[in-house]
Amino acid sequence: QKEVEQDPGPLSVPEGAIVSLNCTYSNSAFQYFMWYRQYSRKGPELLMYTYSSGNKEDGRFTAQVDKSSKYISLFIRDSQPSDSATYLCAINSGGGADGLTFGKGTHLIIQP
Amino acid sequence: EAEVAQSPRYKITEESQAVAFWCDPISGHATLYWYRQILGQGPELLVQFQDESVVDDSQLPKDRFSAERLKGVDSTLKIQPAELGDSAMYLCASSAGQASLGYTFGSGTRLTVV
């Protein structure tokens, strides 16, 4: 079992819909949870990060962490065609060797 | 907005040839990472530097890959000899401090080995 599992999609939804993106992880030592957005031929850009279980909101984006289930989610409200991209979850334990473990990424398509 | 600079953007090389990638992190960022991203996959860490010292290179294929950050600023990743399976995006990222808060990626170097 991979440390981080993420459905690669593609996920196609109409403009204005609420999008739900999810990852599961296996290592309970993971403490820091991030979502990156990656446009084609670009590097990933950090969207949100969170440490604890619960919700964190930033504009149209909400990150949710459930440590008991080892499940993290990203919700996008009022989705726009410009949100079309690959969304990567990333996790680490916050230790001294703090490289990130990424999911495969979910390819999201917002249809105008 | 400060950026992580990488060059070249694209590189095509033949099998068995040597290839090198360069990264200039955001000014003042002590921590620098090299990741490899195969098409359709998430990035995977190759090497992490803290200033000029290697912190983690456990996933770096040391028989053919090398990385250096001599003055603790910019960094070079080299592959010699290149193999077909090395075709991927090579991403550099940097961080000012507690990397658990996320860090900044460059636009990457797309390597194609033919």
Lookup result for tokens 């080892």: A70
Structure tokens at B53: 């010292």
Q: Least CA distance to A2: which residue of chain B?
A: B42
pLDDT of residue A52: 78
pLDDT of A102: 94
Q: Could you give the CA distance from residue B27 to residue A73 in angstroms, rounded to a whole number? A: 33
User: For residue B15, which of B82, B79, B64, B101 has the smallest C-alpha distance?
Assistant: B82
pLDDT at B12: 98
Tokens for B48, please give them: 């992490």
pLDDT by residue, tens only, chain A of 112 residues: 678 999 888 999 999 999 999 999 998 888 889 999 999 989 999 999 888 788 999 999 999 999 999 999 999 999 999 999 999 999 987 754 578 899 999 999 999 9
HEC sequence for chain B: CCCCEEECCEEEECCCCCEEEEEECCCCCCEEEEEEECCCCCCEEEEEEECCEEEECCCCCCCCEEEECCCCCCEEEEECCCCHHHCEEEEEEEECCCHHHCCEECCCEEEEEC
Q: Which residues does chain B have with pLDDT short of 70? A: 98-101
What is the CATH number that goes with domain B5-113? 2.60.40.10
Domain boundaries defined on chain B: 5-113
Q: Which of A8, A49, A97 sits opposite B48 (nearest CB)?
A: A97
Contact A96 B55 (CB under 8 A): yes
To test the contact with chain B by mutation, choose from A98, A106, A107 the residue with the greatest count of B C-beta atoms within 10 A, namely: A98
pLDDT at A95: 57
pLDDT of residue A49: 87
Whether the CB of B26 is below 8 Å from some CB of chain A: the reply is: no
- Residue A1, pLDDT score: 62
| Residue A24, pLDDT score | 96
Contact A64, A55 (CB under 8 A): yes
pLDDT in tens, A27-43: 888 888 999 999 998 99
Cα A71 to chain centroid, rounded: 11
The number of angstroms, rounded, from the C-alpha of A109 to the middle of its chain's C-alpha atoms is 15
Distance between CA atoms of residues A93 and A27, nearest Å: 9
Domain CATH for A96: 2.60.40.10
DSSP H/E element including A68 = none
> CA A87, CA A35: separation in Å to the nearest integer?
7
Containing structural domain, residue A102: 4-111
Counting the structural domains of chain A, the total is: 1
Mark yes or no for CB contact B102/A92 under 8 Å: no
φ, ψ of residue B84 in degrees (nearest 5): -55, -40
* Size (chain B), residues: 114
Count CA within 13 A, CB hemisphere, residue B15: 4
- Count CA atoms within 13 Å of residue B91 on its CB side: 25
